[in-house]
Chains A and B, each alone.
Chain A
Amino acid sequence: MVLSPADKTNIKSTWDKIGGHAGDYGGEALDRTFQSFPTTKTYFPHFDLSPGSAQVKAHGKKVADALTTAVAHLDDLPSALSALSDLHAYKLRVDPVNFKLLSHCLLVTLACHHPTEFTPAVHASLDKFFTAVSTVLTSKYR
């Protein structure tokens, strides 16, 4: 699965549209993930996961910032996300199934806030982007 030039254009233009809201959306996507897929909470026993939690917001911003980095390096995701890839493989060891769950909730968040921008083609490109990022983050698992 490869990001086409059109995919890259869609991804970048979406990220431009999101602007400064990326952090908020990251937090909302995490919220959605915890509420829709409660098993994901098992990775955060040390967090306050109640709605509006400052920890969730902060973590959402972290996730969003990493995605923003990824958007700036679509031609070389493995290199740009190498440190995060190590982190997920050797320390966090989040089961790969969970990346799909968060990716889906990121799509839902974007669909809610940018309905016009979220055309079928953009939806497809974003899904591919999140899949590509997930693949890099799990690439060193074994």
Chain B
Amino acid sequence: MVHLTAEEKSLVSGLWGKVNVDEVGGEALGRLLIVYPWTQRFFDSFGDLSTPDAVMSNAKVKAHGKKVLNSFSDGLKNLDNLKGTFAKLSELHCDKLHVDPENFKLLGNVLVCVLARHFGREFTPLAQAAYQKVVAGVANALAHKYH
């Protein structure tokens, strides 16, 4: 469960309302694959990931980034029950996808960098702190069903 103050909740939803979720998803996933290239291990079927340009323009990366961020978006609507919200996805990532939960933390931090880039000064230390709580909560929820 993520504990956000009223002010933090307001900062999170205020900024999220201005996010182009589809685009930000693609950018975040793309940057994950570039900054932490070992994460490419999960995406052998995605085609050319050999250069930053190739990754950022890759249609499969964009599509998958969109999927991931829409799911994250759902989480934002259920901050009081992230574990419940992500239970099925947690099982999927463990049993079928075999993704080390460390990757959720990496993606969460990349997402924070992307939001910082988009919002500039508006992404104040307080706003960042609120989002760090959210991404940590989502990462924990996604790791919760691992065994």
Count residues on chain B whose CB falls below 8 Å from chain A CBs.
Answer: 23
Q: Which of A51, A104, A115, A118 contacts B109 (CB 8 A)?
A: A104
CA A105 – CA B132 in complex, angstroms? Answer: 11
A35 at the interface (CB under 8 A from B): yes
CA A35 – CA B125 in complex, angstroms? Answer: 7
B interface, over-half SS: helix
B34 at the interface (CB under 8 A from A): yes
Size category of the A interface is 20 to 34
In contact, A32 and B56 (Cβ under 8 angstroms): no
A113 at the interface (CB under 8 A from B): yes
In contact, B120 and A108 (Cβ under 8 angstroms): no
Known contacts A119-B52, A124-B35; decide if A107 and B113 are in contact (CB<8 Å): yes
Q: Which of B118, B120, B129 contacts A113 (CB 8 A)?
A: B120
In contact, B128 and A32 (Cβ under 8 angstroms): yes
Q: Which of A28, A113, A118, A119 contacts B125 (CB 8 A)?
A: A28
Distance (whole angstroms) from the CB of B101 to the closest CB of chain A: 16
B126 at the interface (CB under 8 A from A): yes
CA A3 – CA B119 in complex, angstroms? Answer: 29
B79 at the interface (CB under 8 A from A): no
In contact, B30 and A108 (Cβ under 8 angstroms): no
Which residues of the other chain, A, contact B116 by a CB distance below 8 angstroms?
107-109, 111-112
Q: Which of A36, A37, A112, A123 contacts B35 (CB 8 A)?
A: A123
